[in-house]
Structure 1
Amino acid sequence: MELFKMAKEAINMRSKMKDIDNRLRDLVMDLEYKGIKIKVNAKNEFLSLNIPEYLLKEKKEKVEKLILSAFAEACKKAQNVMTEEVKKLTGGMKIPGL
């Protein structure tokens, strides 16, 4: 009897995890860092990158550093949003891997 209850809870948790995953994928953020525009979702999936023409005239090393910094900022923002959304959706329950 207890085994069936545990199985039902596992199925419910799996469904909830799928809902959380979909919600995070749909939560898209735009970030601009020193002219570089990045679109990322709350699952930390990068969707687009736009580098303005004037930056392409700069030294390669400078542009590379700016791009890396822009990606780091986007990752940080996505991680923060993901953490907050998961807290809301799970009622603060800790879920491994999220």
Structure 2
Amino acid sequence: MELFKMAKEAMSMRSKFSEMDKKLKAHILDIEYKGIKIKVNAKNEFLELSIPDDLLKESKDKIEKVVLNAFSEASKKSQEVMAEEAKKITGGLKIPGM
């Protein structure tokens, strides 16, 4: 009987994760960092990048650093939203990769 209950809970959890996946894909974040604009969903999938013309006049090294930092900031915000959604479903239970 216990095995049946565990299987049922696993199916329920799978359904919840599928629903969460859809929510994360639909949750779009607009991040701006030093003029660079990035659209990323809460699944950490990058959708758009806009670099201002004045930044393109800077040195290659500066552009690379600013773009890299902008992506890091966008990724961080995306992961924060993902963690919040996961916490709602798991009740705070730590699941690897979430």
Give TM-score, length-normalised by structure 1: 0.89
Is there any run of 5+ residues in structure 2 with no aligned partner, and where? none
Aligned to 1:20: 20
Is there any run of 5+ residues in structure 1 with no aligned partner, and where? none
Aligned to 2:67: 67
1:1-98 correspondence runs (5 A): 1-98=1-98
Q: Does the residue aligned with 2:95 lie in a helix, a strand or coil?
A: coil
Deviation readout 1:47-97 (Å, 9 max, x if unpaired): 110011111111111111110010111111111111122222333233332
Give TM-score, length-normalised by structure 2: 0.89
Cα distance, 1:31 vs structure 2: 0.6
Distance 1:28 1:68 in 2: 20
Q: Does the residue aligned with 1:71 lie in a helix, a strand or coil?
A: helix
Cα distance, 1:34 vs structure 2: 0.7
Query: Aligned pairs, how many?
Result: 98
